[in-house]
Structure formats: structure tokens, C-alpha cells
Amino acid sequence: MKMLEKIEAVPGVVGARTIDGFAYIGGLATLTGQAAYVTFVGPFRGQRLRPQRAIHQAMAVGVEAIAIVSLITFFVGLIMALQSAYELRRLGAMQFVAGAVAVSILRELGPLLTAIVVIGRSGSAFAAEIGTKKVTEEVDALRTMAFNPVAFLVAPKFLAMLVMVPCLTVWADFMGVVGGSVFGVAGAGFTVGSYFQATLDSIVARDIYTGLIKSVIFGLVITAVGCKEGFSTGAGAEEVGRSTTSAVVTSIALVIVVDLVFTALFYFINPT
Amino acid sequence: MNDAAASEAAISVVNLRVSYGEREILHGITFDVRRGETMVILGGSGSGKSTLLRTLVGLEKPTSGEVWIRGVNTAHVSDREMDQIRKKMGMSFQGSALFGSMTVGENVALPLREHTDLEESTIKIMVRIKLGQVGLGSFENYMPSQLSGGMKKRAAVARALAMDPEILFFDEPSAGLDPIIAAGLDELILNLKKAYAMTIVVVTHELSSAFLIADRMVYVDRGHIVALGTREEFQASTHPRVRQFLDRVPEPEVNEELDYLQMLTGDPASGS
């Protein structure tokens, strides 16, 4: 009897979860829209834009992440070279290592790894910062002082991420290729010059710009999720921890989904 | 007499009801705050007094009823209009809610920088004046984390004063402070009242502080107003709940969850 009731409840639960999911996506879109409004429309309606806040954020999001992004993509480039060489060696096609590394890094791993690093460093920080401000009533203080919390806290983060995530991705792409070249030179008979020449020969502009388009979308998703989780923080310090965790987990899941959607789009729009 | 009093009202609350989700916190509150008077909102924990204050400053939207401030019903205004009213109100939060990433001086300067076209040199002078008024003249360049609890609250008052508000709100000014520091804050409120003839609304459960600063008091109990009057009228009150509060008689122990919920929100008679 109990079992039957549970089974009967399943469609209802699934439906409710689905609606919650769409509501969440809607919330992210609303937040992004509001931030875009205060950034791009607000200044023409007499509201002030404070670029120094965005610059401050850009330093934290971008410049301070260069070291870790370099390290990770360098190693992953090296790993990709080793892994593809394992297969290519059997075919006697070691000269294709450069191309295999370049295409996989530029199209997929560069943007994705950068996004993962940015989620860990900045997405979590956004949720923790806004969550703490919520708990200490700073968000309420902003509102009673007639400030729009979105303009004050969220818009600079969007602006910083919009610029810095693609920049980091370009750097990550470069470091990935450098990582691959280490194996190319040491184990596949390339010189440094011939490795980079082989890389350039095997990629097209499309490989770069599809990766960059994805990285822009990743940046938007990470910022929206981080800020939304921050604003949904309840009362108490432990709630800040909960929002931070939830921001990281949700961001990673959404970034992977968005990655799949855009990769599929690029594939079907122009299959050549 | 009544009409004359109404025209002199700085804030006029009519049949105000506020709910969090399904649960109604305020069940029809009606009272006026006269221009230039200090009104103390008294009540126990969970009585709804903080919700009342949050509704007055526009942080919560009422489910029904009216809140008239500066001739506008803030229950039905746009965010933009509400911001215009907020610029003429100051709020000092329970936990001070200073922005931790800015110095005390920058905290006070923030509303002036964002909402006015004053020269930077003028703003600097105004910040010194405001900090001087609360006795923090030489702490302009301190970070909020370097200040003691009482100093933080004073700094928060300076920030609330920045825009020369017509109405000043205090949420639990003496909460978490030792009696000497709390007495200092009471004196600060009295000084502000003398110096500016400002309308001041204070939420507190500190009886000594309430009887010192109040012109009139209102006692909120379980979402209803049960008493409203001058200090003397309060001292002479025979209402059982008011007497219990003034004479510090403990509530019978709460064992049942239902009793607790009833204590928070409903009067047993209505059975809601």
C-alpha cells in the first residue's frame, strides 16, 4: 500500500522538479537581464556606471587565475599528447600528435578547463561574497540606501567575467599547445618550430572561435549561478557554505550541459 | 484633534498585513508616527516588530494595507519611486551592516558619491562632519573590522545620516552591547533628536532604553498592536501582556510545537 502510494507520487515529483528546474533557469536569465540592463542601458538613463568595481573584479577573476590555468592546461596538453601518441604510434602517424592536441585543446579542453578553474576560484567566491553580505544585512543596507543590489554587486562581476573568461581561454589554449610541444619535441621527433608549424597547419579559425563563443557563455552561466546562489542564502553562517557548494556543483553541471548544447549546435549548423 | 494629528504624521500605517509565505506575521497594524517625534516599537522576540520595521523601510511588501510616507503609499509604488523615498530615510541595522571592503569614511561617503553631484572635497568635509556627530571623528580611515561593536553601530548611524534623512530608523540599537556602550547610543539618539528634530523610529526590547528615548511607544504582540501611548501611559498600563513585558514575567514553558507556532503568529481566539 505504502509502496503504491510512493509510485503514484512519482509523476508529481518529477513534474514539480521539472518546473523548479525551469524556474531556476528563468531566475538565472532574469538576473543576467537585469545586470545587462544596468550595464548597457542604465548609463544612458542617467544611472552611473562604476568601472573601477569591474576592474577590481577582473583582477580577481582573470589576472590572479593565470598561474593555475597555465599549470593545469600545460599538463593537460602534455597528457593529451601522450594519450594520442599511444594510439598514433601503432599507426606510425606520430606527426599527427600536434594536430590532435591542438584540436582537442582549442575546441574543447581549453574552454572547459578554464571554466572549471573559474568556477572553483570565482563562482564559489561570488556565492560566498553575496551570501555573506546577505547574512550580515549588507544587501538590505544597499536597498535601504536606494542602491540596486544587482547594479552594485552583480553587474561588475558579469562585466569582468565577460572579458576575462575568453582571455583566460586564449591563454589556456596557448599553454595547452605548449604542453603538447614538450612531448612533441622530446618523444615525437619534432623541433619546437616544426611542432608549432604543424599545429598552425592543422587548425582553422573555426576551432578557435567556437571555443571562445563557448567560453563567453560559460562565463555568463558561472556568474549567474554564483550570484543567484548568493542571493538565495538564508540566515546564518552555515547557509553561506551551502550556497557556495551549491554554486560550484550547479555551475559545473550547467557548464557541461551548455557545452554539449553548443558543441551540437556548431556541429549541425556547419558540419564541414 | 485627530485630523490635525493625521496631517502631522510622518508615517501613517493603516491596517497593515504582512505574510512570509503562508504564515501571516502582522495581522492588521494601524498607527501613526508624528513628525519630529521618537517612536519606539516594543515587543518580544518573534512578536513581528522587526517585520514591521522592515516593511516601513520597504524591504518587505505588505500583503494588504497601506504605509504612507511623504504622501506616498509605499505599498503600491515602483522600485524607482521607492528609491526616491529611501533617499530621505536612514536606517541603522542591528548588526551595523557596514560594507566590510570599504573604510568607515568610504561607507559614509558612498550614498553621497552615488546619489549626489557633490565635489569630492565637499564629500570629504561632510563625511568628517557626520562622523564627528557620532563621536568617531578620527576613525575615518579605519576598516569596520577594526572597530568595536559600539563604534560600528555609531559608524552605521553616521552612514544613515549621510543624506540628511527626514526619518531615521534603528533596529535594536543596543542589541549585543554592554550597558555603558548602550547608554552611549541612547544618548546619541537623544542628541540627534535635539539637534535635527528628526522623526526617529526605534525597534527594541530594551525597556530602560525605550523609556529614556521615547516620546511615544507602541507595543507589538503576536502581530497585533496591543498598546500605544506615551511613557507615562505605558507605565500605568493594565493590559496583561504589557504588564507581563514591563514586569519581566516569564512565559509558561513551551512544549508543544503548535503552542510555539501560535505564540509566534496567531492569537488562540482566532484559531488561524
Q: What is the DSSP string of A32-65?
A: HHHHHIIIIIGGGGT----HHHHHHHHHHHTGGG
A257 Cβ contact list (under 8 Å, min separation 6): none
Question: What is the three-state SS of chain B?
Answer: CHHHHHHCEEEEEEEEEEEECCEEEEEEEEEEEECCCEEEEECCCCCCHHHHHHHHCCCCCCCEEEEEECCEEHHHCCHHHHHHHHCCEEEECCCCCCCCCCCHHHHHHHHHHHHCCCCHHHHHHHHHHHHHHCCCCCCCCCCHHHCCHHHHHHHHHHHHHCCCCCEEEEECCCCCCCHHHHHHHHHHHHHHHHHHCCEEEEEECCHHHHHHHCCEEEEEECCEEEEEEEHHHHHCCCCHHHHHHHCCCCCCCCCCHHHHHHHHHCCCCCCC
Q: Provide the percentage of residues in chain B whose pLDDT is more than 90.
A: 40
Asked if residue B138 is part of any domain, the answer here is yes
pLDDT at B201 over 70: yes
**Cα B113 to Cα B123: distance, rounded to the nearest angstrom:** 7
Instruction: Decide if A64 touches B, using CB distance below 8 A.
Output: no
Asked if residue A93 is part of any domain, the answer here is yes
Q: pTM surpassing 0.90? A: no
* Complex ipTM: 0.85
Asked if residue A160 is part of any domain, the answer here is yes
Asked if residue B155 is part of any domain, the answer here is yes
Asked if residue A90 is part of any domain, the answer here is yes
Q: Note down the domain range covering A137.
A: 51-269
Which residues of B fall below an 8 Å CB-CB distance to A?
54, 57-59, 79, 82-84, 86-87, 89, 91, 93-95, 97-100, 110-111, 114-115, 159, 169
Instruction: Specify the pLDDT at position A50.
Output: 74
Residues of B in Cβ contact (< 8 Å) with A140:
54, 59, 93, 97
Asked if residue A25 is part of any domain, the answer here is no
Domain count across chain A: 1
Instruction: Specify the pLDDT at position B1.
Output: 38
Range in A43-47, A181-185, B87-91, B161-165 the model is least confident about:
A43-47
pLDDT at B5 over 60: no
**Cα A52 to Cα A60: distance, rounded to the nearest angstrom:** 13
Instruction: Decide if A56 touches B, using CB distance below 8 A.
Output: no
Residues of B in Cβ contact (< 8 Å) with A148:
79
Q: Kindly state the DSSP code that residue A96 receives in the 8-state scheme.
A: G
Write down the residue that cell numbers 582553422 correspond to.
A204
**Beta carbons of B5 and B32 less than 8 angstroms apart:** yes
**Do residue A140 and residue B59 have CB atoms under 8 angstroms apart?**
yes
Instruction: Decide if A43 touches B, using CB distance below 8 A.
Output: no
> Could you tell me the pLDDT band of residue B70, with boundaries at 50, 70 and 90?
confident
In this structure, what C-alpha cell is assigned to residue B21? 509565505
Instruction: Specify the pLDDT at position A64.
Output: 93
* Cα-based distances in Å from A35 to A8, A23, A178, B82: 42, 18, 37, 20
Q: Provide the percentage of residues in chain B whose pLDDT is more than 70.
A: 90
**Do residue B99 and residue A146 have CB atoms under 8 angstroms apart?**
no
Q: Note down the domain range covering B121.
A: 98-164
**Beta carbons of B174 and B209 less than 8 angstroms apart:** yes
Asked if residue A141 is part of any domain, the answer here is yes
Strands B9-20 and B216-221: what pairing?
unpaired
Strands B216-221 and B224-230: what pairing?
antiparallel
Sheet with B9-20: strands ordered across: B23-34, B9-20, B64-69, B72-73
> Could you tell me the pLDDT band of residue B92, with boundaries at 50, 70 and 90?
very high
Asked if residue A39 is part of any domain, the answer here is no
Could you tell me which residue, B245 or A176, shows the higher pLDDT?
A176
Residues of A in Cβ contact (< 8 Å) with B74:
none
Average pLDDT for residues B156-166, to the nearest whole number?
92
**Beta carbons of B205 and B42 less than 8 angstroms apart:** yes
Instruction: Decide if A60 touches B, using CB distance below 8 A.
Output: no
Asked if residue B172 is part of any domain, the answer here is no
Condensed to tens digits (0 to 9), the pLDDT of residues A214-244 reads 999 999 999 999 999 999 998 888 899 999 9
Domain count across chain B: 1
**Residues of chain A under the 70 pLDDT cut:** 1, 46-49, 271-272
Q: How many CB pairs under 8 A join A and B?
A: 44
Condensed to tens digits (0 to 9), the pLDDT of residues B111-152 reads 998 888 889 999 999 999 999 989 888 999 999 999 988 899
Cα atoms found within 13 Å of the Cα of residue A139, Cβ hemisphere only: 19
CB-closest option in A136, A143, A147 to B59: A143
CB-closest option in A137, A146, A147 to B95: A137
Asked if residue A240 is part of any domain, the answer here is yes
Instruction: Decide if A143 touches B, using CB distance below 8 A.
Output: yes
**Do residue A144 and residue B100 have CB atoms under 8 angstroms apart?**
no
Best of B77, B81, B91, B117 to mutate (most A CBs within 10 Å, chain A): B91
CB-closest option in B59, B98, B99 to A144: B59
Sheet with B224-230: strands ordered across: B89-92, B167-171, B199-204, B38-42, B216-221, B224-230
Asked if residue A42 is part of any domain, the answer here is no
CA distance B42 to chain A (A): 21
Condensed to tens digits (0 to 9), the pLDDT of residues B10-28 reads 899 999 999 888 888 888 8
Return the residue of A nearest to B92 by Cα.
A141
Asked if residue B149 is part of any domain, the answer here is yes
Instruction: Specify the pLDDT at position B262.
Output: 67
Average pLDDT for residues B210-219, to the nearest whole number?
91
Asked if residue B120 is part of any domain, the answer here is yes
Q: At what angle do helices B120-133 and B149-161 cross, to 10 degrees?
A: 130
